[in-house]
Structure 1
């Protein structure tokens, strides 16, 4: 399959903004209906998960929609039930949680890199469908997205990050090792899908050779899976400003001021 044509920038930005406006409507519906939404973003390194999450959350209220990107577990967390630390981040009523990677770390990087035992891995594959069915039965709206990218495109994105000082931080030794373990990750993903692609919580694959298309497709699909409706906001009016009571601001010289760095860029 050849490289897909890229969505033109102007058309992409127009449709993205329309979809983001719908996400705001979804957010207000979630808040009003006291719904609970969990969206899982998984996939290859450099497949575009993070940039898609950024666009999803861009105009949302961080008090309602939050991103969960958990660090490596602590020594104490390693002794807990595997799903325990993720449960802490699940939404309460009226909340949306976007998981930038999730409990599926065990079926991917932990399995491939040997960070868990085979028994722990097998236990995960057995328990994960049960865990997710419990969430869905309790009313959580669970959506799972796998971002798929080819080995050549992944390598191009890694090289781009390596050469860009502004994005160099996004590249880790673990990312680079995924190049040499491409087939291992592929087998792990296939096995994960066999056990966890269940009717109650299916996987949705997002082709992400073109990041613009991937973002539009993922957001449009998410919106299509939830029967939300627009919630009319309460009518608001700016109150009239009361007359002055004689307040005078203290002289600016009394406080440390931020230097006017922007002055160099303003026209004379």
Structure 2
């Protein structure tokens, strides 16, 4: 059949650029068994608690950056990492739009204020790389501000590493088809709709622009002292297990799990304490 004889839809399909990727379209794998996933996740979370105790004991300062496209799975991994952690040791930083005052500050200033002290781990759910991604693509920064970021970011990160901070950077990669599927899932789920912002919908229309911005970002900031580690995010469960496994491999740690505590017998009520009647308290309705 000649091109002339083909239907318009078929011609359009041939002409359309293929942008499936992880940033190539990932090979589909068999779905991970849920029981196996849960079992492996619990094992990894036990190790994360050991890592937590080591960070506290050794006074380490750890920064982990999570970047990637919208709906790539960053939040899901962060949630599984922090589920068993002590929030006083590990905290999540997800900064919103800068205030008018922050816009006049040194670009990295508001991120520096959230860096860890000794014995802390900070997980950045998006980070200073906003300038190389959304700000660049959406035109929220000038060309000069963008170029200055690409120049200064590697030096800023080398400075962090020289100061003793352990800096680990993850990029979650997902295909356009999978991102579209997850967007639709969020639309259909009332408890997930908050995850879709007008900015997410706009970025959906600019897949290629974001791809180019990511490539340029990697070219300048994938440095020896703080390399980018790419996580295949096509399968959420695999991505979580793979990312946590890699994170654990990045920080040598020892098992400092506290020994089991033997609870002493409770002392008898020697003070004659009498609990006030429940009728004097305001109880919530017991609907369940």
TM-score normalized by the length of structure 2: 0.89
Task: Find runs of 4+ consecutive structure 1 residues off by over 2 angstroms.
Answer: 234-237
1:160 and 2:179 are equivalent in the alignment: no
Return the index of the structure with the highest Cα Rg. 2
SS in 2 for 1:67: strand
Aligned to 1:226: 251
State the Cα deviation string for residues 141-184 of structure 1 (Å, max 9, x = none). Answer: 11000000000110110011111111111111111111210000
Shift of residue 201, structure 1, vs aligned partner: 0.2
Q: Which among 211, 223, 231 is matched to residue 198 of structure 1?
A: 223
1:38 and 2:38 are equivalent in the alignment: no
Aligned to 2:128: 103
1:124 and 2:142 are equivalent in the alignment: no
Q: Which among 93, 113, 121 is matched to residue 68 of structure 1?
A: 93
1:113 and 2:141 are equivalent in the alignment: no
1:247 and 2:264 are equivalent in the alignment: no
State the Cα deviation string for residues 14-71 of structure 1 (Å, max 9, x = none). Answer: 0011001100000000000000110000000000000110001000000000000001
Aligned to 2:261: 236
Q: How does 1:178-217 map to 2 (within 5 A)?
A: 178-217=203-242
Shift of residue 2, structure 1, vs aligned partner: 2.8
**What count of residue pairs does the alignment treat as equivalent?**
262
Q: Which runs of 5+ in 1 are unaligned?
A: 263-268
Q: CA RMSD in A?
A: 1.0
Aligned to 1:49: 74
State the Cα deviation string for residues 186-224 of structure 1 (Å, max 9, x = none). Answer: 000000000000000000000011000000000000101
Do 2:50 and 2:257's aligned partners in 1 also have CA atoms closer than 8 Å? no
Task: Tell me the distance in 2 between the aligned counterparts of 1:78 and 1:10.
Answer: 47
Aligned to 1:265: none
